[in-house]
Amino acid sequence: MSAHRSVDFFDAQFRRQVGDRDFRLNPFEELALPHLHGDVLDVGCGLGNLALEAARRGCRVLAVDASSTAVERVRADAKRLALPLEAVEASLASWNPVARYDSITCIGVLMFLRGERALELFGTIRDAVRPGGTAVVNVLVEGTTFMDMFDPEEHYLFGRGELARSFAGWELVAERSDSFAAPRETRKEFETVIARKPP
């Protein structure tokens, strides 16, 4: 995410969550956790709940987010708990992975980038998964009507089924759709794919 409206939206949310000590895994993170192993990259890690739990379970984790609030929390807890986790503050409008990983998560992030950049980063994530490794990707899709968190100029709602089709040739370990009510009678429509790269 770049320094625009969505970063501000989530940074404010993260400050509230830190103040409330609200560090529960969300449903998508809970779905992802059993599939993480080895070297893990968490793209758009937010408060790092998933990254920290993966590190507690023995994974070596690189966590990346644009929110300074989020990255500071992840670094502090990783240091306090002596976990094998590095947290990096970076704009996903320009950041790309430079290594390969056994597991990569990208949960609730790609839709906050311009379409061309969202698809480019998605491609680099797929490329950065080692053979036999796993990708967990979650996005908002067309039909979403809650738009408060989006920068009008920088967002991309994936087409329905686009995520799964983009993993052609991979083993689809899980594929699901979720619909949630949002303020003012709007909705959030999510799709999540867990896919294993051919060995």
For every residue of the chain, DSSP letters joined together read --SSHHHHHHHHHHHHHHHHT--PPPHHHHHHGGG--SEEEEET-TT-HHHHHHHHTT-EEEEEES-HHHHHHHHHHHHHTT-SEEEEE--TTT----S-EEEEEEES-GGGS-HHHHHHHHHHHHHHEEEEEEEEEEEEBTT----TTSBTTB--PBPTTHHHHTTTTSEEEEEEEEEEEEGGGEEEEEEEEEEE---
Average pLDDT for 173-195 = 97
Q: pLDDT (tens digit, 9 = 90+) per residue, 14-44?
A: 677 666 676 788 999 999 999 999 999 999 9
pLDDT of residue 16: 75
What pLDDT, in 10s, does the model give residues 137-153?
A: 999 999 999 998 888 88
Q: pLDDT tens digits for 164-174?
A: 999 999 999 99
| Domain span at 78 | 5-18+25-196
What distance in Å separates the CA atoms of residue 169 and residue 124, rounded to the nearest whole number?
16
For residue 31 the two structure tokens come to 């779905």
Q: Can you give the CATH number for the domain in which 184 is found?
A: 3.40.50.150
Average pLDDT, the chain: 92
Nearest to 156 by CA among 193, 104, 120: 120
Into how many domains does the chain fold?
Answer: 1
pLDDT of the residue at 148: 87
